[in-house]
Amino acid sequence: MVDYSLILQNLKFFNISTDKFTIFEWKPPKSLKSYILDLNVIRKNTVSNIFFHLFRGEMKIVHIRLKNLIYTVGSNNEVQFQLLEAFIEKVSETFNDIYDIESYIKYDNFSITMFSSFKEEIDTIIRDFNSYNLVMDLKVPCMVCNGILPVIVKRSFIEHAESYPVPLVYNHKGHAILCFIDKNYDIRGVELVNVTG
Ligand SMILES: [Zn+2]
């Protein structure tokens, strides 16, 4: 089994924000750089419940708006987007379990110092990530690389799918493959796809 805790050592920051300001930020212990995050751009995106992926220099950024909060994670390029999404899902669930944040916002009754101890929860989630069983690592053949690629897939993505097999595009090394995954996590087909954007 892949050691996801090791992969998650590549995280650069985790930010939880309202429409107006940051309420929580985590950075790895040895982080010397301060990452200037253009959260203003992310905050202007009013779409809820959809993960957005950005590339910013050497960094990958994933963000999602869930109710009144925006969750943003940054990592280097070693971490696949599906793992970052699964990480956000786990962190947001834990944050909402601990804090009744939606009421705090509704009544404007909180101080951000309330959330500073949540940094330890982030460290715990990274350390224990394998035990949550939130992702699967699949082996997918690529006809361009001529090899077998490790592809990480969120269980929530497969288990909440409306039909099977589920399509997933894996964009890597300048090309992309489209894989079809069934509900048992078996690969039912792989195609080379053209990409624009
Ligand atoms: Zn390839």
| CATH code of residue 60 | 3.30.450.50
CA distances (Å), origin 139, targets 7, 84, 91, 116, 147: 17, 19, 27, 39, 10
Measured in angstroms, how far is the CA atom of residue 31 from the centroid of ligand 1? 32
User: Quick check: 38 pLDDT over 90?
Assistant: no
Res 34: pLDDT: 64
> What does the alpha-carbon distance between residue 126 and residue 43 come to, in Å, rounded to a whole number?
26
How many separate domains does the chain show?
Answer: 2
Measured in angstroms, how far is the CA atom of residue 86 from the centroid of ligand 1? 23
Give the residue numbers spanning the domain of 148.
Answer: 135-193
Q: 33 and 76 share a domain?
A: yes
Q: 116 and 32 share a domain?
A: yes
Measured in angstroms, how far is the CA atom of residue 118 from the centroid of ligand 1? 39
Coil, helix or strand at residue 81: helix
- Among 81, 116, 132, where does a domain finish? 132
2 Cβ contact list (under 8 Å, min separation 6): 137, 150, 152
Measured in angstroms, how far is the CA atom of residue 189 from the centroid of ligand 1? 15
* pLDDT, tens digit (0-9, with 9 covering 90-100), for 125-137: 999 999 999 999 9
Mean local confidence (pLDDT), 171-177: 95
How many helices (H) and strands (E) the chain has is answered by 7, 10
CA dihedral sign of residues 56, 79, 66, 114 = negative
Q: 90 and 44 share a domain?
A: yes
Measured in angstroms, how far is the CA atom of residue 140 from the centroid of ligand 1? 9
Q: 54 and 33 share a domain?
A: yes
Q: 32 and 79 share a domain?
A: yes
User: Quick check: 32 pLDDT over 90?
Assistant: no
Q: 90 and 125 share a domain?
A: yes
- The model's pTM: 0.95
Higher pLDDT, 6 or 1: 6
For helices 81-98 and 118-127, give the axis angle rounded to 10 degrees.
140
Res 57: pLDDT: 84
Measured in angstroms, how far is the CA atom of residue 85 from the centroid of ligand 1? 22
Q: 23 and 110 share a domain?
A: yes
Q: 26: which strand partners?
A: 14
